[in-house]
Structure 1
Amino acid sequence: MRNLDRRLIQVVPSRRQLEHQQLEFYSFVHFTVNTFTGKEWGDGSESPSIFNPVKFDAQQWVDAVKSAEMRGLILTCKHHDGFCLWPSKYTKHTVAYSPYKNGKGDIVKEVSDACRKAGIKFGVYLSPWDRNNPAYGSGKPYDDYFVNQLTELLTNYGEIFSVWFDGACGEGINGKKQVYDWERYYEVVRKLQPNACISVCGPDIRWCGNEAGYTRKSEWSVVPARTRETELIADKSQKEDNESFRQREISASDQDLGSREILRDETDLIWYPAEVNTSIRPGWFYHEEEDDKVRPLEELINIYLNSVGGNATFLLNIPPTKDGLFHENDVKRLKELGDFIRHAFAKNLLNDAELAVSSFMRGYGIDNVREDNYLKYFRTDDGITEAVIDITWENEQLIRYIVMKENINCSQRVESFRIEANLGEEYKTVYDGTVIGYKRIAPLTPLVTDKIRIRILDSRVAPTLSFIGVY
C-alpha cells in the first residue's frame, strides 16, 4: 500500500484545473430558438425570424447570478439546432438574420461584456452536433466549419474560463452522423485560450454522470486515465431529449472511481475533478408551464452542500424567458440561495478557538489552517497517516457546519475522517466522512459545544489540510 500511495500522490491538478475548482459555483444559461418553440431540442429547421428577445438584458442575468454567489456564467452559444447567438461568418442560421436589434445584435458579446464588467468569468458551450448544417456527417468539411466557429468564439469575446462540450451525436439533416475530431478541437482551445478548462467531453473537468444533481459519497479527483476517453462520455451522453435521462441517478457501478482498490492495477492516472450540473427547473430551456416548478430552496442547498462541499464544482442552469430575462421566480430563488450561503458561512468560529494536533511536520503546524490559501498548510511527516485535531473555545458555541480543505497541490490524500463533539462531558461522533479533496462541507445537526475533535483516520502517505472553518 505504501508504494501505491506514493504513486497516487504524484497526480496533481494543473493550474487551470485548480483555478477552475476555486470558482466552486457557476451558472449555465440555455438560450436559443428552443426558447421560442417550447422544445428542449430543436431540429435545425427553425427560422431565425422567431428569435426576438425584446427585453433582453445581460446585466439582469449577471446580477441574478452574482446574487446567488456564483462566480461564472457559461452560455449556450450554439445548441444542437445550430442557431448561433453571435453573428458567425460561416452560416446564416444566426442572430444576424433574426429580428433582434434588426440583425445587429450579438448576444455572446453582450453577455461576455456584462460578465467582465461585473467581475465574473465567462464560458462558452458549443454543440458539436449541428442539425442545421448540411456538412454535418461529412467528416473534415464539417470539422473545418466547427473549428471556424470555435475560433470565432475564442478570439472575439475576451478571456474564456470554460469551453463546455457534450457528446451529443445524432443524425444531421442528411441522415449521417459525424465522427468528432476531438483532438483537433482541443488543440484549438489550448492555442487560443490556454487558461480555459475543456469540460465534460474534454480532458480537464469530468461530468458527474447525471443531470439530476446527484453526487457521490466519495468524489475522487485522482482517477484512471481511461475515465477521460471521450468515446465513453459521448456514449453515455444524451442522444435524444427525454426526462428520464435528465433525472437519472449515478449507477452503482460508477460510485467508486478513485479508491485504492480501484486504482491498484491502473498504470495511467490523471487529475480529473467532477462537475455537478443540473437545472433550476425540470427543463434546460424555458417553458411557461414550469414557472411554478422552480426547485425548492432546500433542494438547491442540499445540491450545493453535496457538490461544492463534496469535492466537485456546481453548474446550475437558469433558462431565460422569451423576453430575454430570467423569470422572477428564478431570480427570487437565486437570491434566496445566495442569502443562505452568505449567512451560513459568514463567521468562522475557528478565529476565536485554540488549536492543537497530535503530530505535524516542522513548519507545517495546525495554525496554518486558519487562512484559506495554499501558501501555508498543515501536514504530518510521511508515513504518519492519521491525525487528531482539537478545537477548543472558552465558551460554548452553536455549530452547524464544519468545512475542511486539503492542499490539492499535494494531490488528494485523505481517505476517511470523523468529527466528534464534546457533549455532556464526553466526545460523541457527530459526522463520519470519507474524502475531503478541494473542499468538504460537513453539515451537522446543530449542536452547542466548546470542544470539537477532528480525526483523520486514513490518508495517502500523509494528510494535508489548507483550511478549517467552523460555522
Structure 2
Amino acid sequence: MKKNWLLFAGLFSCAVASAQDIKPYGALPTKPQVAWADLEYYMFIHFGPNTFTNKEWGHGDEDPKVFNPKHLDARQWARTAKLAGMKGIVITAKHHDGFCLWPSKYSTHTVRESAWKDGKGDILKELSAACKEYGLKFGVYLSPWDRNHPAYGTAEYNQIFAKTLNEVLSGYGPVFEQWFDGANGGNIKQPYDWDLFHSVVYKNQPNAVIFSDVGPGCRWVGNENGYAGTTNWSTLNVKGFTPGVGGPDTKSLNEGNEDGEKWVPTECDVSIRPGWFYSPDTDDKVKSLNQLLDIYYASVGRNGNLILNVPVDRDGLIHPNDSTRLMELRQVLDASFKDNLARQAKVTATNTRSNNTAVKVSNLTDGNNKTYWAASEGKNDAVITLTYSKPVTFNRLVLQEFIALGQRVKAFKVEVLDNGSLKEVANETTIGHKRILRLPLTTTSQIRISILDAKAAPVISEIQLFKAPGVITTPEISRQEGGKVIINGASSPDVTIHYTTDGTEPDFQSPVYNWNSNISLPRGGTVKARAYVDQGKTAGKVVTKDFDIASGTWKVVGSTNRKAIDGNVESVYVTDKNEIQIDLAETFNLKGFTYTPPESDDHGGTISIYGYEFYVSKDGEQWSKVATGQFANIKNNPVIQTVKFQATDARYIKLVSTAPSDGKSKSVAIAELGILTR
C-alpha cells in the first residue's frame, strides 16, 4: 500500500511538473482527491442493531445483546467487494443509535456489551484486516448524532465524539474516506464542532477524504438514488454552509457550482435494496441489473464516485441475492469496457499546444489518465478526430480531463461520418474526471469530438471507445394519477421498448416507447411491453399491466394530502385516525379495491394496515360495509393487496384500519389506494 502511494505521488509530481507551463484553472484537487477519483466504485456497508430490529434509524434504547451475527465473516464481505470490481469498503462504525462496532472506551453501547463473541469481538479490526488482505481501501462512517450517549446535547459531547474519532482513526490502519452524516435530530440538538472533528481526521489520517454535504474532501450528490447531474462540476461554494440542514441546495449538490470556491467532487450514495440496513422483507427487492447499470452510468459516468450500499444480513454475511446481482453487474461492465476501439484510430486534434513535450495527441488513447493532450493557451475550443481505415461499431464513449489542472470543459458535442456527412449523436456539457456516454449502436469510419466551450484551454487525458453488449431489460409499467402511462426499462440506446394497448402481444413492429410517447388510460386498460436489443434480433419477456380508473380527479375527504392517491407508491400517506375517505368525483360500479402498503414497516414511522374494513357510500353520509378481513403476511411481504366484493354503485369509499401490522401503533400508512371496476 505504501509503495503504491509513493509511486502515485511520484507520477503525480512528474505530471504536474511537466505541465508547469499550463496554468492551472480554478479550484484544484489535492493529491488524495485525485487518487480518490480514480477509485470510482466502492462498497458501503450499513450494519448494527438496526439489522436485527428492522429499523432504519434506531433510537439508541435497544438492548445491545440483540446484535449477534453468529456467522460474521468480514473476509466474505471483502472477497465479494473485490470480485464485484469495487476498490474499497466504508462501514457504519457508529450510526445514529450510537452503537459502536468496536469496543469503544467512550461508550457503553458497543459490541463489548453485545451477545456477539461474548463481547470480545471487534468488527473494525476484522474488516480492516480483510480489506488489507484483498487489496481494498478501508473507510469509516461515524455519525456525530448519538441517541444513546448521555452527554449528547451538552458542551462535553463534542470532545467525547472527537476522542471517539481519534480512537477509530488511530487504531485500524489507513483510512481512505471518513464519512460524516450531518444528522442532528430528535428533541436534543447538538452544535457540532466540525473544525475539531476535521482536525482529528487529518491528524490521524492526512490522506483521508472527508465526506459531507460540504466536504471538504467530497460532497453528497443531493439524493439517495445514486444519480449525479448531467452537468456536474467538481467545484462547490462552501462558505456559510455546514453539513446537514445547513448544506447547499439540492441543485448545487447535484451539479456543483461552476467556478466554485473549493474542489469538492461528487460521491453518489445509493443502496442495492430499498433500505440502508438489511431486512428479510427486502430479500426479493434487490435492484435489477439494469437499475444498477443506470446508476453506474449516472454516477461514475457523470464525474462522480459510486458508493453502493450492500447491507450485511443477520448472519453477518452479504446475502446471496445481493452478491449475485453484484457479479452480474461486474460481468456486464467488464464486457462493456473490454476492448478500447480508440486505440485502433488515427487521432488528430486542432489547436494542439506546442513547446511542451508532455502534450501529445497519442496520449489521448494510451489508456493512462496521467498523460494528456492540451489545446494552446487562450484557445478554449478544439476538435479531436478519430479516423479509421475500416468502419468500427461502437455505443460507448469515455472522456476524461486531466483534473490535476482543474475542471475546464463546459460544452462538447460528438459527431460521426454518416453517408459522407457529419451526424451529431451527442451534445453535452461537463466532463471532469470521467464522462461516459451511452450512444445508439453506430458504425462509422470517423468520430469527431468538438469541445465547444471551456473555462480555459482544454486538457484531456483520455478518449476511449467501446462496443458494449446489449442487455435485455424487463420493462416496468406504471401510471400517473392523471392516467398517463410510464414505461421504464430502456436503460440505454441499445434497448428499445415496444408496446401495445389493444391486448395483442408486442413485437418489433409495435410502437416504440420513448419520452414523448403519449399513452393515456384515465378510464383503465391493458398495456403490454417487451424489450429488444441488437436491432430487434433478441427479445425479452412480455410484461403486462392492467389499469383501472385513474385517481386524478379524486379527493381525500378532509385533507389536501394526496399521497394515498397520487399514483406514486414511493410517497406514503400516514394517518392517526385509522381511516381514510375518498371522493371518487363520480359514481362507479365498484367490484373491489386495492391497497398498496409502504415498502417496509417502521421506515419513518410508516406502519401497514393488517386488519381492515371497507365501506362505500353514494352521498358520503350513509355507509355500507362491503368487505372486512386481514392482509395476510403484509408485514413481511408488503405487496399490493386486491380485495373483491359484490358489485355496488358508489361515489365515496372508506378504508378503516382495525389492526396495524405491528399490533400496537396508533397510526397507519397507505402508499396507494385504488378501486376495481373491471
Q: What is the TM-score with the length of structure 1 in the denominator?
A: 0.90
Residues 138-149 of structure 1 correspond to what in structure 2 (within 5 A)? 138-139=154-155, 141-149=156-164
CA distance in structure 2 between the partners assigned to 1:391 and 1:112 by the alignment: 45
The CA deviation at 1:36 is: 0.4
The CA deviation at 1:351 is: 1.5
- Point out the structure with the larger helix share: 1
Letter in 1 for 2:219: R
Alignment match of 1:368 (pick from 363, 381, 388): 363
Contact 1:12/1:271 (8 A) holds in 2: yes
CA distance in structure 1 between the partners assigned to 2:251 and 2:157 by the alignment: 38
CA distance in structure 1 between the partners assigned to 2:325 and 2:292 by the alignment: 9
CA distance in structure 1 between the partners assigned to 2:119 and 2:250 by the alignment: 46
CA distance in structure 2 between the partners assigned to 1:254 and 1:225 by the alignment: 11
The residue aligned with 2:344 is 352
Task: Tell me whether 1:123 sits opposite 2:139 in the alignment.
Answer: yes
The residue aligned with 1:443 is 438
- Deviates further, 120-129 or 352-361: 352-361
CA distance in structure 2 between the partners assigned to 1:7 and 1:166 by the alignment: 36
Residues 173-188 of structure 1 correspond to what in structure 2 (within 5 A)? 175-188=187-200
The residue aligned with 1:160 is 175
Task: Tell me whether 1:72 sits opposite 2:85 in the alignment.
Answer: no
CA distance in structure 1 between the partners assigned to 2:196 and 2:283 by the alignment: 41
Deviations 1:69-92 (A, max 9, x none): 110100000111111110111222
CA distance in structure 2 between the partners assigned to 1:19 and 1:461 by the alignment: 23
Alignment match of 2:120 (pick from 70, 93, 104): 104
CA distance in structure 2 between the partners assigned to 1:95 and 1:452 by the alignment: 58
Deviations 1:275-324 (A, max 9, x none): 11110011000111111111111111111112111111111101111001
CA distance in structure 2 between the partners assigned to 1:58 and 1:146 by the alignment: 26
Can you give the 5+ residue segments of structure 1 that lack an aligned partner in the other structure? 1-5, 238-249
Letter in 1 for 2:164: Q
The residue aligned with 1:89 is 105
Q: 1:272 to 1:96 in 2, by over 3 A?
A: same
Alignment match of 1:291 (pick from 271, 283, 286): 283
The residue aligned with 1:306 is 298
CA distance in structure 2 between the partners assigned to 1:138 and 1:7 by the alignment: 48
Q: 1:388 is paired with a residue of what secondary structure? A: strand
The CA deviation at 1:41 is: 0.7
Contact 1:8/1:222 (8 A) holds in 2: no
Q: 1:64 is paired with a residue of what secondary structure? A: helix
Residues 250-265 of structure 1 correspond to what in structure 2 (within 5 A)? 257-259=256-258, 263=259
Task: Tell me whether 1:469 sits opposite 2:454 in the alignment.
Answer: no
Contact 1:86/1:108 (8 A) holds in 2: yes
Letter in 2 for 1:437: G
The residue aligned with 2:185 is 170
Contact 1:27/1:315 (8 A) holds in 2: yes
Q: 2:75 is paired with a residue of what secondary structure? A: helix
Deviations 1:215-262 (A, max 9, x none): 2111001232337x215x34469xxxxxxxxxxxx9567665423xxx
* Bigger relative contact order, structure 1 or 2 (CA pairs below 8 A, ≥6 apart): 1
Task: Tell me whether 1:386 sits opposite 2:402 in the alignment.
Answer: no
CA distance in structure 2 between the partners assigned to 1:456 and 1:200 by the alignment: 32
Can you give the 5+ residue segments of structure 2 that lack an aligned partner in the other structure? 1-21, 467-678
The CA deviation at 1:46 is: 0.8
The CA deviation at 1:25 is: 0.7
Structure showing greater radius of gyration is 2
CA distance in structure 1 between the partners assigned to 2:104 and 2:256 by the alignment: 40
CA RMSD, 1 decimal: 1.9
The CA deviation at 1:52 is: 0.7
Runs of 4+ in structure 1 over 3 Å off: 233-237, 250-257, 372-375
Deviations 1:118-162 (A, max 9, x none): 0010000001000000000012x1112111111111011000000
Letter in 2 for 1:131: R
Q: 2:48 is paired with a residue of what secondary structure? A: coil
Contact 1:166/1:234 (8 A) holds in 2: no
The CA deviation at 1:109 is: 0.8
The residue aligned with 2:626 is none
- Calculate percent identity across the aligned residue pairs: 44
Q: 1:283 to 1:466 in 2, by over 3 A?
A: same
CA distance in structure 2 between the partners assigned to 1:214 and 1:20 by the alignment: 19
The residue aligned with 2:328 is 336
CA distance in structure 2 between the partners assigned to 1:422 and 1:106 by the alignment: 60
Letter in 1 for 2:73: D
Contact 2:226/2:298 (8 A) holds in 1: no
Q: 1:47 to 1:30 in 2, by over 3 A?
A: same
Contact 2:59/2:147 (8 A) holds in 1: yes
Residues 127-138 of structure 1 correspond to what in structure 2 (within 5 A)? 127-138=143-154
Q: 1:16 is paired with a residue of what secondary structure? A: helix
Letter in 2 for 1:225: V
- Deviates further, 37-46 or 391-400: 391-400
Contact 1:69/1:341 (8 A) holds in 2: no
The residue aligned with 1:208 is 221
Alignment match of 1:190 (pick from 202, 206, 215): 202
CA distance in structure 2 between the partners assigned to 1:7 and 1:200 by the alignment: 30
Letter in 1 for 2:236: V
Q: 2:392 is paired with a residue of what secondary structure? A: strand
CA distance in structure 2 between the partners assigned to 1:46 and 1:235 by the alignment: 30
CA distance in structure 2 between the partners assigned to 1:326 and 1:256 by the alignment: 33
Letter in 1 for 2:416: A
Q: 2:210 is paired with a residue of what secondary structure? A: strand
CA distance in structure 2 between the partners assigned to 1:221 and 1:253 by the alignment: 11
Q: 1:212 is paired with a residue of what secondary structure? A: coil
Q: 1:21 is paired with a residue of what secondary structure? A: helix
The CA deviation at 1:269 is: 1.4
Task: Tell me whether 1:221 sits opposite 2:234 in the alignment.
Answer: yes
CA distance in structure 1 between the partners assigned to 2:125 and 2:290 by the alignment: 34
The residue aligned with 1:278 is 270
